[in-house]
A and B are shown apart, each in its own frame.
Chain A
Protein backbone atom coordinates (compact mmCIF):
# COMPACT_ATOMS: atom_id res chain seq x y z
CA UNK A 1 0.00 0.00 0.00
CA UNK A 2 2.81 2.36 1.05
CA UNK A 3 4.82 1.33 -2.04
CA UNK A 4 1.78 2.00 -4.24
CA UNK A 5 1.50 5.53 -2.88
CA UNK A 6 5.22 6.09 -3.50
CA UNK A 7 4.83 5.15 -7.16
CA UNK A 8 1.64 7.14 -7.54
CA UNK A 9 3.26 10.26 -6.08
CA UNK A 10 6.32 9.81 -8.36
CA UNK A 11 4.10 9.45 -11.44
CA UNK A 12 1.86 12.42 -10.55
CA UNK A 13 4.94 14.54 -9.71
CA UNK A 14 6.63 13.67 -13.03
CA UNK A 15 3.43 14.44 -14.93
CA UNK A 16 3.14 17.86 -13.31
CA UNK A 17 6.76 18.65 -14.29
CA UNK A 18 6.05 17.48 -17.82
CA UNK A 19 2.94 19.67 -17.95
CA UNK A 20 4.99 22.69 -16.85
CA UNK A 21 7.52 22.03 -19.64
CA UNK A 22 4.74 21.62 -22.23
CA UNK A 23 3.05 24.88 -21.17
CA UNK A 24 6.42 26.66 -21.21
CA UNK A 25 7.21 25.22 -24.66
CA UNK A 26 3.80 26.22 -26.08
CA UNK A 27 3.97 29.77 -24.66
CA UNK A 28 7.59 30.23 -25.82
CA UNK A 29 6.83 29.09 -29.36
CA UNK A 30 4.05 31.62 -29.99
CA UNK A 31 5.74 33.77 -32.61
CA UNK A 32 5.14 37.43 -32.22
CA UNK A 33 4.00 37.18 -28.63
CA UNK A 34 6.03 39.54 -26.35
CA UNK A 35 6.38 36.74 -23.82
CA UNK A 36 8.19 34.51 -26.37
CA UNK A 37 11.21 36.85 -26.57
CA UNK A 38 11.85 36.81 -22.81
CA UNK A 39 10.69 33.26 -22.23
CA UNK A 40 12.44 31.06 -24.80
CA UNK A 41 11.15 27.48 -24.72
CA UNK A 42 13.38 24.76 -23.24
CA UNK A 43 13.86 23.07 -26.65
CA UNK A 44 15.47 26.26 -28.02
CA UNK A 45 17.80 27.25 -25.16
CA UNK A 46 18.82 23.66 -24.41
CA UNK A 47 19.69 22.93 -28.05
CA UNK A 48 21.65 26.20 -28.18
CA UNK A 49 23.69 25.15 -25.12
CA UNK A 50 24.31 21.68 -26.59
CA UNK A 51 25.43 23.25 -29.90
CA UNK A 52 28.01 25.29 -27.94
CA UNK A 53 29.37 22.12 -26.27
CA UNK A 54 27.98 23.25 -22.89
CA UNK A 55 30.19 26.33 -23.03
CA UNK A 56 28.61 29.64 -21.97
CA UNK A 57 29.92 33.21 -22.23
CA UNK A 58 32.41 34.91 -24.48
CA UNK A 59 36.21 35.00 -24.60
CA UNK A 60 38.12 34.85 -21.31
CA UNK A 61 34.85 34.91 -19.31
CA UNK A 62 33.49 31.76 -20.91
CA UNK A 63 33.01 28.70 -18.69
CA UNK A 64 31.67 25.21 -19.18
CA UNK A 65 28.38 24.33 -17.52
CA UNK A 66 29.92 21.56 -15.42
CA UNK A 67 32.58 23.97 -14.11
CA UNK A 68 29.86 26.44 -13.13
CA UNK A 69 27.87 23.74 -11.33
CA UNK A 70 30.93 22.39 -9.49
CA UNK A 71 32.00 25.90 -8.42
CA UNK A 72 28.56 26.73 -6.97
CA UNK A 73 28.20 23.36 -5.23
CA UNK A 74 31.70 23.48 -3.73
CA UNK A 75 30.99 26.92 -2.28
CA UNK A 76 27.69 25.81 -0.75
CA UNK A 77 28.97 22.49 0.57
CA UNK A 78 32.24 24.03 1.80
CA UNK A 79 30.38 26.64 3.84
CA UNK A 80 27.74 24.19 5.06
CA UNK A 81 30.23 21.53 6.12
CA UNK A 82 32.41 24.01 8.03
CA UNK A 83 29.29 25.45 9.68
CA UNK A 84 27.94 21.96 10.49
CA UNK A 85 31.06 20.69 12.26
CA UNK A 86 31.81 23.98 14.01
CA UNK A 87 28.19 24.23 15.17
CA UNK A 88 28.38 20.71 16.63
CA UNK A 89 31.61 21.60 18.43
CA UNK A 90 30.30 24.96 19.67
CA UNK A 91 26.99 23.49 20.80
CA UNK A 92 28.79 20.71 22.66
CA UNK A 93 31.18 23.13 24.39
CA UNK A 94 28.37 25.53 25.32
CA UNK A 95 26.29 22.73 26.80
CA UNK A 96 29.15 22.00 29.21
CA UNK A 97 29.05 25.45 30.80
CA UNK A 98 25.91 27.24 31.92
CA UNK A 99 27.70 30.58 32.18
CA UNK A 100 29.18 30.25 28.67
CA UNK A 101 25.76 29.42 27.23
CA UNK A 102 24.10 32.31 29.12
CA UNK A 103 26.74 34.65 27.70
CA UNK A 104 26.57 33.30 24.16
CA UNK A 105 22.87 32.58 23.64
CA UNK A 106 21.80 36.23 23.14
CA UNK A 107 24.51 36.62 20.47
CA UNK A 108 23.40 33.41 18.74
CA UNK A 109 19.75 34.51 18.84
CA UNK A 110 20.75 37.88 17.40
CA UNK A 111 22.66 36.43 14.45
CA UNK A 112 20.49 33.37 13.71
CA UNK A 113 17.59 35.21 12.00
CA UNK A 114 19.89 37.12 9.62
CA UNK A 115 19.36 35.76 6.10
CA UNK A 116 22.57 34.60 4.39
CA UNK A 117 21.99 37.13 1.59
CA UNK A 118 22.38 39.97 4.11
CA UNK A 119 26.04 38.95 4.60
CA UNK A 120 26.88 39.38 0.88
CA UNK A 121 27.98 43.07 0.97
CA UNK A 122 29.99 42.59 4.18
CA UNK A 123 31.65 39.45 2.76
CA UNK A 124 32.71 41.31 -0.40
CA UNK A 125 34.06 44.28 1.59
CA UNK A 126 36.03 42.09 4.01
CA UNK A 127 37.27 39.27 1.76
CA UNK A 128 36.97 40.76 -1.72
CA UNK A 129 35.47 38.88 -4.63
CA UNK A 130 36.59 35.28 -4.22
CA UNK A 131 35.56 31.85 -3.00
CA UNK A 132 36.17 32.72 0.66
CA UNK A 133 33.43 35.34 0.43
CA UNK A 134 30.93 32.76 -0.83
CA UNK A 135 31.91 30.25 1.86
CA UNK A 136 31.73 33.02 4.49
CA UNK A 137 28.20 33.95 3.39
CA UNK A 138 26.99 30.35 3.59
CA UNK A 139 28.76 29.83 6.92
CA UNK A 140 27.22 32.95 8.51
CA UNK A 141 23.79 31.99 7.26
CA UNK A 142 23.89 28.48 8.66
CA UNK A 143 26.30 28.39 11.63
CA UNK A 144 24.21 30.28 14.23
CA UNK A 145 21.01 28.37 13.49
CA UNK A 146 22.84 25.04 13.63
CA UNK A 147 24.55 25.95 16.92
CA UNK A 148 21.16 26.73 18.47
CA UNK A 149 19.80 23.49 17.02
CA UNK A 150 22.72 21.53 18.47
CA UNK A 151 22.09 23.00 21.91
CA UNK A 152 18.39 22.18 21.68
CA UNK A 153 19.10 18.63 20.49
CA UNK A 154 21.59 18.02 23.31
CA UNK A 155 18.90 19.06 25.81
CA UNK A 156 16.48 16.61 24.17
CA UNK A 157 18.75 13.56 24.56
CA UNK A 158 16.89 11.28 27.00
CA UNK A 159 18.64 11.38 30.38
CA UNK A 160 18.30 7.58 30.56
CA UNK A 161 20.64 7.16 27.56
CA UNK A 162 23.40 8.84 29.54
CA UNK A 163 22.53 7.15 32.83
CA UNK A 164 22.76 3.77 31.09
CA UNK A 165 26.04 4.65 29.39
CA UNK A 166 27.42 5.72 32.75
CA UNK A 167 26.12 2.49 34.26
CA UNK A 168 27.96 0.52 31.57
CA UNK A 169 31.16 2.33 32.44
CA UNK A 170 31.32 5.01 29.72
CA UNK A 171 33.77 7.84 30.38
CA UNK A 172 32.49 11.41 29.78
CA UNK A 173 34.25 11.41 26.38
CA UNK A 174 32.67 8.07 25.45
CA UNK A 175 29.27 9.43 26.50
CA UNK A 176 29.76 12.26 23.99
CA UNK A 177 31.11 10.21 21.12
CA UNK A 178 28.92 7.11 21.49
CA UNK A 179 25.66 8.50 22.85
CA UNK A 180 25.18 12.25 22.56
CA UNK A 181 26.56 12.79 19.05
CA UNK A 182 24.70 9.84 17.48
CA UNK A 183 21.53 10.98 19.28
CA UNK A 184 21.68 14.59 18.06
CA UNK A 185 23.04 14.11 14.52
CA UNK A 186 19.70 13.41 12.78
CA UNK A 187 18.07 16.53 14.25
CA UNK A 188 20.95 18.84 13.42
CA UNK A 189 21.29 17.37 9.94
CA UNK A 190 17.57 17.93 9.26
CA UNK A 191 18.04 21.62 10.02
CA UNK A 192 21.12 21.69 7.79
CA UNK A 193 18.99 20.29 4.98
CA UNK A 194 16.25 22.85 5.57
CA UNK A 195 18.81 25.66 5.52
CA UNK A 196 20.42 24.42 2.33
CA UNK A 197 17.93 26.42 0.23
CA UNK A 198 18.87 29.69 1.95
CA UNK A 199 22.58 28.91 1.61
CA UNK A 200 22.11 27.98 -2.05
CA UNK A 201 20.32 31.26 -2.76
CA UNK A 202 23.02 33.27 -0.98
CA UNK A 203 25.80 31.72 -3.04
CA UNK A 204 23.91 32.43 -6.24
CA UNK A 205 23.44 36.05 -5.21
CA UNK A 206 27.16 36.31 -4.43
CA UNK A 207 27.91 34.88 -7.85
CA UNK A 208 25.54 37.35 -9.48
CA UNK A 209 27.02 40.40 -7.78
CA UNK A 210 30.69 39.65 -8.12
CA UNK A 211 32.08 36.17 -8.53
CA UNK A 212 32.97 35.40 -12.12
CA UNK A 213 31.96 31.76 -12.22
CA UNK A 214 29.19 29.57 -10.88
CA UNK A 215 25.56 29.19 -11.87
CA UNK A 216 24.66 32.69 -10.64
CA UNK A 217 27.31 34.14 -12.95
CA UNK A 218 25.67 32.41 -15.94
CA UNK A 219 22.50 34.45 -15.34
CA UNK A 220 24.51 37.69 -15.06
CA UNK A 221 26.36 36.78 -18.27
CA UNK A 222 22.97 36.36 -19.94
CA UNK A 223 21.87 39.78 -18.68
CA UNK A 224 25.05 41.50 -19.86
CA UNK A 225 24.80 39.85 -23.30
CA UNK A 226 21.00 40.46 -23.56
CA UNK A 227 20.75 36.68 -24.00
CA UNK A 228 17.45 35.50 -22.58
CA UNK A 229 18.28 31.89 -23.54
CA UNK A 230 21.24 31.97 -21.18
CA UNK A 231 19.14 33.53 -18.42
CA UNK A 232 16.45 30.84 -18.74
CA UNK A 233 19.08 28.11 -18.85
CA UNK A 234 20.67 29.52 -15.66
CA UNK A 235 17.28 29.62 -13.92
CA UNK A 236 16.52 26.03 -14.92
CA UNK A 237 19.99 24.92 -13.75
CA UNK A 238 19.48 26.55 -10.33
CA UNK A 239 16.18 24.74 -9.88
CA UNK A 240 17.44 21.35 -11.08
CA UNK A 241 20.70 21.47 -9.07
CA UNK A 242 18.92 22.70 -5.92
CA UNK A 243 16.29 19.96 -6.18
CA UNK A 244 18.93 17.28 -6.84
CA UNK A 245 21.09 18.35 -3.88
CA UNK A 246 18.01 18.34 -1.65
CA UNK A 247 17.30 14.78 -2.86
CA UNK A 248 20.88 13.74 -2.09
CA UNK A 249 20.72 15.28 1.40
CA UNK A 250 17.38 13.56 1.98
CA UNK A 251 18.91 10.25 0.86
CA UNK A 252 21.87 10.72 3.26
CA UNK A 253 19.40 11.44 6.06
CA UNK A 254 17.28 8.34 5.38
CA UNK A 255 20.24 6.07 4.68
CA UNK A 256 22.64 7.06 7.45
CA UNK A 257 20.70 9.14 10.00
CA UNK A 258 17.32 7.45 9.82
CA UNK A 259 16.62 6.88 13.53
CA UNK A 260 14.99 10.25 14.13
CA UNK A 261 13.27 10.62 10.76
Chain B
Protein backbone atom coordinates (compact mmCIF):
# COMPACT_ATOMS: atom_id res chain seq x y z
CA UNK B 1 0.00 0.00 0.00
CA UNK B 2 1.25 3.48 -0.84
CA UNK B 3 1.74 6.12 1.80
CA UNK B 4 -0.20 8.72 -0.16
CA UNK B 5 -2.70 7.94 -2.89
CA UNK B 6 -4.50 10.36 -5.17
CA UNK B 7 -7.20 8.41 -7.00
CA UNK B 8 -8.95 9.95 -10.01
CA UNK B 9 -9.18 13.38 -8.43
CA UNK B 10 -10.82 16.30 -10.20
CA UNK B 11 -10.16 19.74 -8.78
CA UNK B 12 -11.74 23.11 -9.39
CA UNK B 13 -11.65 26.50 -7.71
CA UNK B 14 -13.27 29.88 -8.12
CA UNK B 15 -11.33 33.08 -8.73
CA UNK B 16 -12.87 36.46 -9.55
CA UNK B 17 -16.25 34.75 -9.95
CA UNK B 18 -14.82 32.43 -12.63
CA UNK B 19 -14.61 28.69 -12.20
CA UNK B 20 -11.33 26.98 -13.08
CA UNK B 21 -10.95 23.20 -13.37
CA UNK B 22 -7.23 22.61 -13.92
CA UNK B 23 -7.06 18.98 -12.77
CA UNK B 24 -9.17 16.14 -14.16
CA UNK B 25 -8.91 12.49 -13.13
CA UNK B 26 -5.41 12.82 -11.70
CA UNK B 27 -3.68 9.79 -10.18
CA UNK B 28 -0.50 9.66 -8.14
CA UNK B 29 1.00 7.35 -5.53
CA UNK B 30 3.82 8.25 -3.16
CA UNK B 31 5.81 5.89 -0.95
CA UNK B 32 6.77 6.68 2.62
CA UNK B 33 10.04 8.61 2.85
CA UNK B 34 9.96 9.88 -0.75
CA UNK B 35 10.73 13.50 -1.62
CA UNK B 36 8.51 14.17 -4.60
CA UNK B 37 8.83 17.34 -6.66
CA UNK B 38 5.85 18.36 -8.77
CA UNK B 39 6.92 20.35 -11.82
CA UNK B 40 4.75 22.08 -14.35
CA UNK B 41 4.09 25.34 -16.11
CA UNK B 42 2.40 28.21 -14.25
CA UNK B 43 -1.34 27.76 -13.84
CA UNK B 44 -1.25 24.04 -14.66
CA UNK B 45 -2.69 23.13 -11.23
CA UNK B 46 0.37 22.03 -9.19
CA UNK B 47 -0.62 24.07 -6.14
CA UNK B 48 -4.20 22.79 -6.45
CA UNK B 49 -2.89 19.23 -6.13
CA UNK B 50 -0.85 20.23 -3.08
CA UNK B 51 -3.89 21.94 -1.52
CA UNK B 52 -6.01 18.86 -2.18
CA UNK B 53 -3.41 16.66 -0.45
CA UNK B 54 -3.44 19.01 2.57
CA UNK B 55 -7.23 19.09 2.73
CA UNK B 56 -7.35 22.80 1.85
CA UNK B 57 -9.16 22.15 -1.45
CA UNK B 58 -11.74 19.35 -1.40
CA UNK B 59 -11.72 17.22 -4.55
CA UNK B 60 -14.85 17.43 -6.73
CA UNK B 61 -14.36 13.79 -7.59
CA UNK B 62 -11.93 11.09 -6.52
CA UNK B 63 -10.12 10.40 -3.27
CA UNK B 64 -7.02 11.54 -1.44
CA UNK B 65 -5.84 8.78 0.91
CA UNK B 66 -3.08 9.01 3.50
CA UNK B 67 -2.10 5.51 4.59
CA UNK B 68 -5.43 4.29 3.32
CA UNK B 69 -7.54 6.86 5.19
CA UNK B 70 -9.28 9.76 3.40
CA UNK B 71 -7.84 13.21 4.04
CA UNK B 72 -10.54 15.51 5.40
CA UNK B 73 -10.00 19.06 6.57
CA UNK B 74 -6.52 20.54 7.17
CA UNK B 75 -4.84 19.07 10.22
CA UNK B 76 -1.36 19.04 11.79
CA UNK B 77 -0.81 15.54 10.31
CA UNK B 78 -0.11 17.17 6.95
CA UNK B 79 1.65 20.50 7.27
CA UNK B 80 1.99 22.96 4.43
CA UNK B 81 4.65 25.64 3.92
CA UNK B 82 3.62 28.35 1.50
CA UNK B 83 5.54 30.34 -1.10
CA UNK B 84 5.66 33.28 1.35
CA UNK B 85 6.53 32.27 4.89
CA UNK B 86 3.49 34.04 6.45
CA UNK B 87 5.06 34.12 9.88
CA UNK B 88 2.99 35.93 12.48
CA UNK B 89 4.71 39.34 12.72
CA UNK B 90 3.82 39.84 16.39
CA UNK B 91 5.68 36.67 17.43
CA UNK B 92 9.41 35.99 17.56
CA UNK B 93 10.99 33.10 15.64
CA UNK B 94 10.76 30.89 18.73
CA UNK B 95 7.15 31.89 19.45
CA UNK B 96 6.18 31.25 15.83
CA UNK B 97 7.63 27.76 16.05
CA UNK B 98 5.85 27.17 19.37
CA UNK B 99 2.51 28.42 18.01
CA UNK B 100 1.03 25.04 17.09
CA UNK B 101 2.33 23.35 20.24
CA UNK B 102 0.76 26.05 22.42
CA UNK B 103 -2.60 25.38 20.77
CA UNK B 104 -2.36 21.89 22.22
CA UNK B 105 -2.03 23.36 25.73
CA UNK B 106 1.29 21.66 26.34
CA UNK B 107 3.32 22.99 29.28
CA UNK B 108 6.19 25.33 28.53
CA UNK B 109 8.96 22.89 29.58
CA UNK B 110 7.59 20.23 27.24
CA UNK B 111 7.24 22.79 24.44
CA UNK B 112 10.81 24.04 24.88
CA UNK B 113 12.03 20.44 24.84
CA UNK B 114 10.48 20.03 21.39
CA UNK B 115 11.44 23.43 20.01
CA UNK B 116 15.13 23.47 21.06
CA UNK B 117 16.18 20.63 18.71
CA UNK B 118 14.25 22.30 15.89
CA UNK B 119 16.05 25.60 16.44
CA UNK B 120 19.28 23.61 16.31
CA UNK B 121 18.44 21.57 13.20
CA UNK B 122 17.24 24.67 11.33
CA UNK B 123 20.21 26.79 12.49
CA UNK B 124 17.94 29.39 14.03
CA UNK B 125 19.25 29.40 17.64
CA UNK B 126 20.87 32.81 17.23
CA UNK B 127 17.69 34.25 15.69
CA UNK B 128 15.26 32.68 18.20
CA UNK B 129 14.30 36.01 19.74
CA UNK B 130 14.17 37.98 16.52
CA UNK B 131 10.94 39.09 14.89
CA UNK B 132 10.09 38.16 11.27
CA UNK B 133 10.87 41.65 9.94
CA UNK B 134 14.43 41.24 11.20
CA UNK B 135 15.02 38.03 9.22
CA UNK B 136 16.29 37.36 5.69
CA UNK B 137 14.02 35.57 3.21
CA UNK B 138 15.85 32.27 3.76
CA UNK B 139 15.59 32.51 7.55
CA UNK B 140 11.89 33.25 7.27
CA UNK B 141 11.39 30.11 5.17
CA UNK B 142 13.47 28.04 7.61
CA UNK B 143 11.30 29.32 10.46
CA UNK B 144 8.16 28.42 8.50
CA UNK B 145 9.55 24.92 7.94
CA UNK B 146 10.50 24.60 11.64
CA UNK B 147 7.00 25.74 12.60
CA UNK B 148 5.55 23.00 10.40
CA UNK B 149 7.97 20.35 11.71
CA UNK B 150 7.21 21.25 15.36
CA UNK B 151 3.90 19.46 15.03
CA UNK B 152 5.64 16.29 13.88
CA UNK B 153 3.58 15.91 10.68
CA UNK B 154 3.42 12.66 8.74
CA UNK B 155 3.66 14.57 5.48
CA UNK B 156 5.27 17.93 4.67
CA UNK B 157 3.99 19.97 1.72
CA UNK B 158 6.16 22.76 0.29
CA UNK B 159 4.60 25.22 -2.15
CA UNK B 160 7.38 26.87 -4.19
CA UNK B 161 9.50 27.60 -1.11
CA UNK B 162 12.37 29.04 -3.19
CA UNK B 163 10.46 31.37 -5.50
CA UNK B 164 10.62 34.48 -3.29
CA UNK B 165 14.36 34.10 -2.63
CA UNK B 166 17.49 35.35 -4.36
CA UNK B 167 19.93 32.89 -5.98
CA UNK B 168 22.39 32.54 -3.05
CA UNK B 169 19.74 32.05 -0.38
CA UNK B 170 17.86 29.69 -2.70
CA UNK B 171 20.93 27.41 -2.97
CA UNK B 172 21.38 27.44 0.82
CA UNK B 173 17.73 26.58 1.40
CA UNK B 174 17.89 23.75 -1.17
CA UNK B 175 20.80 22.21 0.76
CA UNK B 176 18.97 22.78 4.02
CA UNK B 177 15.80 21.01 2.85
CA UNK B 178 17.83 18.12 1.40
CA UNK B 179 19.71 17.69 4.72
CA UNK B 180 16.49 17.91 6.66
CA UNK B 181 14.85 15.23 4.54
CA UNK B 182 17.84 12.91 4.98
CA UNK B 183 18.00 13.49 8.75
CA UNK B 184 14.29 13.19 9.48
CA UNK B 185 13.52 10.63 6.76
CA UNK B 186 10.12 12.14 6.27
CA UNK B 187 7.83 12.25 3.25
CA UNK B 188 7.83 15.55 1.39
CA UNK B 189 5.87 16.79 -1.61
CA UNK B 190 7.22 20.01 -3.09
CA UNK B 191 5.76 22.11 -5.88
CA UNK B 192 8.28 24.05 -7.92
CA UNK B 193 8.76 25.41 -11.41
CA UNK B 194 12.53 25.28 -11.04
CA UNK B 195 13.78 22.08 -12.73
CA UNK B 196 17.31 22.27 -11.27
CA UNK B 197 16.03 22.73 -7.71
CA UNK B 198 13.70 19.77 -8.18
CA UNK B 199 16.47 17.44 -9.39
CA UNK B 200 18.93 18.58 -6.72
CA UNK B 201 16.57 18.32 -3.76
CA UNK B 202 13.99 15.67 -4.66
CA UNK B 203 14.12 11.89 -4.88
CA UNK B 204 11.46 11.83 -7.59
CA UNK B 205 10.29 14.39 -10.13
CA UNK B 206 6.82 14.37 -11.67
CA UNK B 207 5.99 16.71 -14.54
CA UNK B 208 2.32 17.69 -14.66
CA UNK B 209 0.82 18.56 -18.02
CA UNK B 210 -2.48 20.03 -19.21
CA UNK B 211 -5.51 18.78 -17.24
CA UNK B 212 -3.27 16.98 -14.77
CA UNK B 213 -1.76 14.46 -17.16
CA UNK B 214 1.60 13.07 -16.02
CA UNK B 215 4.20 13.94 -18.67
CA UNK B 216 7.18 12.49 -16.85
CA UNK B 217 7.79 10.58 -13.62
CA UNK B 218 11.46 9.89 -12.82
CA UNK B 219 13.57 8.96 -9.83
CA UNK B 220 16.35 11.45 -9.08
CA UNK B 221 18.16 9.71 -6.22
CA UNK B 222 21.38 9.01 -8.12
CA UNK B 223 24.46 10.84 -6.79
CA UNK B 224 25.27 11.96 -10.33
CA UNK B 225 22.03 13.91 -10.40
CA UNK B 226 23.01 15.79 -7.24
CA UNK B 227 26.03 17.30 -9.00
CA UNK B 228 24.98 20.07 -11.35
CA UNK B 229 28.28 19.74 -13.29
CA UNK B 230 27.74 16.03 -14.04
CA UNK B 231 26.58 15.28 -17.61
CA UNK B 232 23.78 13.13 -16.17
CA UNK B 233 22.38 16.19 -14.42
CA UNK B 234 22.30 18.18 -17.68
CA UNK B 235 20.68 15.27 -19.48
CA UNK B 236 17.96 15.06 -16.82
CA UNK B 237 17.36 18.81 -17.03
CA UNK B 238 16.85 18.55 -20.79
CA UNK B 239 14.57 15.54 -20.38
CA UNK B 240 12.34 17.38 -17.91
CA UNK B 241 12.45 20.54 -20.04
CA UNK B 242 11.22 18.44 -22.92
CA UNK B 243 8.35 17.13 -20.82
CA UNK B 244 7.53 20.69 -19.80
CA UNK B 245 7.63 21.71 -23.48
CA UNK B 246 10.07 24.55 -22.73
Contacts and interface: CB of A to CB of B under 8 A. Distances in A.
Interface in A69-119: none
B18 interface: no
Interface in A154-169: 158, 160-161, 163-169
Contact of B80 (A167, A170, A171): A167
B86 A160 contact: yes
23 contacts: A160-B82, A161-B88, A163-B56, A163-B74, A164-B80, A164-B82, A164-B86, A166-B73, A167-B56, A167-B76, A167-B78, A168-B147, A168-B151, A170-B103, A174-B103, A178-B103, A182-B88, A182-B90, A183-B88, A183-B90, A259-B90, A259-B131, A259-B133
Contact of B75 (A167, A171, A178, A259): A167
Given A164-B80, A167-B54, 17 more contacts: A161-B86, A161-B88, A163-B74, A165-B99, A167-B74, A167-B75, A167-B79, A167-B80, A168-B76, A168-B79, A168-B99, A169-B76, A169-B100, A169-B104, A182-B88, A182-B90, A259-B133
Contacts of B147: 168
A179 interface: yes
A182 B131 CA distance: 15
Interface range on chain B: under 10, 10 to 19, 20 to 34, or 35 or more? 20 to 34
A253 to B, nearest CB: 13
A161 B133 CA distance: 16
B80 to A, nearest CB: 6
Nearest to A259: B89
Interface in B57-82: 73-76, 78-80, 82
B217 interface: no
B216 interface: no
Interface range on chain A: under 10, 10 to 19, 20 to 34, or 35 or more? 10 to 19
B84 interface: yes
B118 to A, nearest CB: 14
Contacts of B54: 167
Contact of A169 (B86, B88, B151): B151
Contacts of A161: 86, 88
A160 B88 CA distance: 10
B99 A178 contact: yes
Nearest to A174: B103
Those 10 A-B pairs whose CB atoms lie nearest each other, nearest first: A168-B100, A259-B89, A160-B86, A167-B74, A169-B76, A259-B90, A182-B90, A166-B74, A170-B103, A169-B103
A10 B74 CA distance: 52
A127 B89 CA distance: 44
Contact of A179 (B75, B88, B104): B88
A84 B79 CA distance: 36
A174 B76 CA distance: 15
Contacts of B82: 160, 164
Contacts of A158: 86
Interface string B124-160: 0000000101000000000000010001000000000
Contacts of A164: 80, 82, 86
Nearest to A185: B90
Contacts of A170: 103
Contacts of B100: 168-169
Interface in A138-196: 158, 160-161, 163-171, 174, 178-179, 182-183
A2 to B, nearest CB: 16
Contacts of B90: 182-183, 259
Interface string B93-111: 0000001100110000000
Nearest to A186: B90
A174 B100 CA distance: 11
